Structure 1
Amino acid sequence: MSTSGKEVFLIGPGYIGLEVLDRLLEKGYNVTALVRREAAAQDLGKQGVKTVMGSLEDSETIQRQTAKSDIVIHTATADDIGSVKAVIAGIEERASQNLHTIYIHTSGFYSDTKPEDLDARPDSSSHRAIDLAIISARKSLGTKAKLFIMLPPLIYGATHHNRVSIQIITMARFAMKNKYAGYVGKGKSLWGLIHVNDLSYGYLTMLQWLEQAPPEAALEHPYFFSENGKELSWRDAAAIIGDELTAAGKLSDPAPCQIPKDQFKDLFGHYSMVILGQNARNRADRLRKLGCEAKHTDVRQASREEELPLLLKEDLSGYSGYNKPAASGSG
């Protein structure tokens, strides 16, 4: 179905965002992306994508472009409250002109079949402050806009965009620097899985449902999840890394070991336990009811064939942990 004519503002054309962009272009959406680098703007321009120059700190730019857009999709980070507030301000501006907006925000990880469990989480929970800002805006906007939240699990895999995932690859970079594959805590906690390509189809399915749904759909609970029916423990993730890096000649022993706290600086700092040591189990019931089923299930194969070749090309001489916002809150 072609949806030519719909104006989409994509915030974050990165690991997730470029996959979502592919799906949008396949369906004929007119896309404008927020980019920081002129080289990125030129690359996107070759695909027919319009761009606005700026960063997540450029609230005025984000609000202005949101006000021009029928649809806004934020895939840059789950932890930047300023950019989310700017999007909400743009949506409120449109609502004052009787213009309807769809907004899909990317957040954290729980279970979409029991929204009351999410809403009962403490405000200090990771990602929660931004979710609450969106929920507050939903209450004030009512049926004037549809604001929904996508909560992916552990994302893995690489495609023609040659971008790598965050959590598993950060563990792999740690292993290459410290010469062993490690896990945080006891390594028994489980996360659901989704290949980044499957995730992009989840966004598209969600968007097309929101476009077709009546205005009253804006009042339904805001959470959507994606997963492929598989789960992975962090110890098993470390074992995969150990096996693959040993086979590649980067480690001498594949056996995974517990990482001491004083080495968390080479992972996610004080958020390492939150990101790599807790459970995040969910079921994508809403997406499945809409006919969206994941096709990629083999995280080991994707790690070996898609991400490891890219990782081995990296210069890790100055590596000192993940240096971008990865979580928020106090727990």
Structure 2
Amino acid sequence: MPSVLLLGATGLIGSRLAIDLKKAYPEWPLTVLLRNTNVDEWFKVTAKVDRIVHGTISDTELVRSLSKEHDIVINSVTSFDGDFVKTIIAGMEERPEHSKGTLIHISGTGNFIDHGKSGSFNPNSKVWNDDNEDDIRKIVPTMFNGPTDVPVLEAGELGKIVTYIVCFAMTYGSNIGPVPNLGVAYNILTSNAKQLGFAPYVGDGSAKASLLHVGDGVPFVTKIVGIAGTEKPSGSAYSRYYILHGERVAWKELSSALAKVLHAKGVVASPEPKSVPSAEAGQGEIGSLIAANMLVKGDRAVRLGFKATHPSVLVQMQEDLGAHDF
């Protein structure tokens, strides 16, 4: 039976995934790498993991050796840090030819914004589809998640390891793990609103973002782990790239919901969002994100069984953020 290493186990996705993996494959030994030594009990009792290793992702030799040691490695730590992902790949490529490792990389749909600046919906914006390998081949290192996607795809094509990428849309949902963790999307949106003093949108706010409830995404990753552990890979690395999204929401709607929640918690002054130019919507990449459309389709993922069943982010946000201490 394959051994599994989960990196990023305390995150919004990783904590749910640890539980789900042991329920689905109780006999498969599961290792987690933890920086926090105060959460061992949760992983032993609640998640029922088999092995805990203490260390940090900056310990490259530890990450490299653990990646070499395990049959399946799941990266839910980062979709931005290319050097970290290359360390994982380097370790896995040290395995012998007859015992190839499999890397399952969790990425994000930040790659697929149209870089619009108006904040308006663009009906001509490209819809990126995981069923079109040419779309996946267009991913480059300069995209939001390109620094990690590109080396994973290249390693999969080289063939020393097997690769799968599961690309989550902007992810929401309640945290069930042992430490407070909102996930990347909520962290970006809430910290940006806190810094600005209001929840922004750009122009008329009709530009669309793609979103996913974490509870819809995690079971699909678990399914991919099962496939990786029991079946021979087929097709190219570009055909093992899956996009998961549950809904498209206009940025004005998203920011309206955010403003209400954050105002009730005393984080922003007004329960209403504010329209601003893209240059004033947030520092760095956040302004580009809020101004643009992010349109994706996951036909390949749907064909493999993905289905979104959880409530909309507009319904879920109050629960997700209401208990968080800002």
Query: Shorter-chain TM-score: what band?
Result: 0.7 to 0.9
Tell me by how many angstroms 1:92 deviates: 1.2
**Contact kept in structure 2, 1:62 and 1:87, CA below 8 Å:** yes
Q: Cα gap change, 1:249/1:286 in structure 2, threshold over 3 Å: closer, same or farther?
A: same
Aligned equivalent of 2:107: 107
For 1:78-227, list aligned pairs within 5 A. Answer: 78-96=79-97, 98-109=98-109, 110=112, 111-141=129-159, 145-161=161-177, 163-176=181-194, 178-184=196-202, 187-217=205-235, 221-227=239-245
| Secondary structure, aligned partner of 2:164 | strand
Separation of aligned partners in 2, 1:281 and 1:101? 32
Report what 1:45 is aligned to.
44
Give, in whole Å, the separation in 2 of the partners of 1:262 and 1:190: 18
TM-score (norm. length: structure 1): 0.81
Deviations 1:175-227 (A, max 9, x none): 45554322256533212221111111121122223334334345562311111
- Residues 259-295 of structure 1: CA deviation (Å, up to 9, x unaligned): 467766xx5x311134333222212222221223121
Instruction: Identify the residue that residue 320 of structure 1 maps to in structure 2.
Output: none
Given the superposition, is the C-alpha separation of residues 231 and 220 from structure 1 closer, same or farther in structure 2, using an over 3 Å criterion? closer
Q: Is the 8 A contact 2:137 2:238 kept in 1?
A: no
Secondary structure in structure 1 of the residue aligned to 2:21: helix
Q: What are the equivalent positions in structure 2 for 1:229-308 lying under 5 Å apart? A: 230-246=247-263, 253-259=270-276, 269-308=283-322
SS at match of 1:61: helix
TM-superposed CA distance for 1:88, in Å, is 1.1
Counterpart of 1:255, as a letter, is E
- Residue 20 of structure 2 aligns with which residue? 23
Identity %: 23
Letter in 1 for 2:60: S
Q: Which residue of 2 aligns with 1:323?
A: none
Match of 2:32 in 1: 33
Shift of 1:65: 0.7
- Given that 1:73 and 1:104 are in contact with CA atoms closer than 8 Å, whether structure 2 keeps it comes out as yes
Change (3 A) 1:131 1:171: closer
Secondary structure of the corresponding residue to residue 39 of structure 2: helix
Match of 2:5 in 1: 9
Match of 1:328 in 2: none
Distance in 1, Cα, partners of 2:56 & 2:298? 31
Query: Would the aligned equivalents of 1:146 and 1:218 in 2 still touch at CA under 8 Å?
Result: no
The separation in 1 between residues aligned to 2:315 and 2:88, in whole angstroms, is 38
Measured after TM superposition, the shift of residue 18 of structure 1 is 0.8
The structural deviation recorded for 1:135 is 2.1
- Structure 2 unmatched ranges of 5 or more: 113-128
- Kindly indicate whether the alpha-carbon contact (under 8 Å) linking 1:17 and 1:75 is maintained by their aligned counterparts in 2: yes
> Unaligned stretches of 5+ in structure 1?
315-331
Deviations 1:103-134 (A, max 9, x none): 11122324312221232244422222322212
For residue 180 of structure 1, give the secondary structure of its aligned residue in structure 2. Answer: coil
Letter in 1 for 2:206: K
Matched AA of 1:145: I
Assess if the C-alpha contact under 8 Å between 2:261 and 2:321 holds in 1. Answer: no
- Contact 2:81/2:147, CA 8 A, preserved across alignment: no
CA distance in 2, matches of 1:304, 1:297: 12
- Please give the per-residue CA displacement for 1:49-72, whole angstroms capped at 9, x wherever unaligned: 222222222221111111111110
Which moves more between the two structures, 172-181 or 74-83?
A: 172-181
User: CA 1:308–1:88 in 2, change beyond 3 Å: closer, same or farther?
Assistant: same
1:164 deviates by 1.8
- Asked if structure 2 preserves the Cα contact closer than 8 Å seen for 1:157 and 1:307, the reply is no
Tell me: CA distance 1:34–1:234, structure 2 relative to 1, closer, same or farther (3 Å).
same
Q: How many residues in Structure 1 have an aligned counterpart in Structure 2?
A: 301
Higher alpha-carbon deviation: 26-35 or 167-176: 167-176
TM-score, with length taken from structure 2: 0.82
CA pair 106-186 structure 1, distance change in 2 beyond 3 A: farther
C-alpha distance in 2 between matches for 1:252 and 1:274: 24
* Cα 1:137/1:95, change in 2 over 3 Å: farther
- Map of 1:322 onto structure 2: none
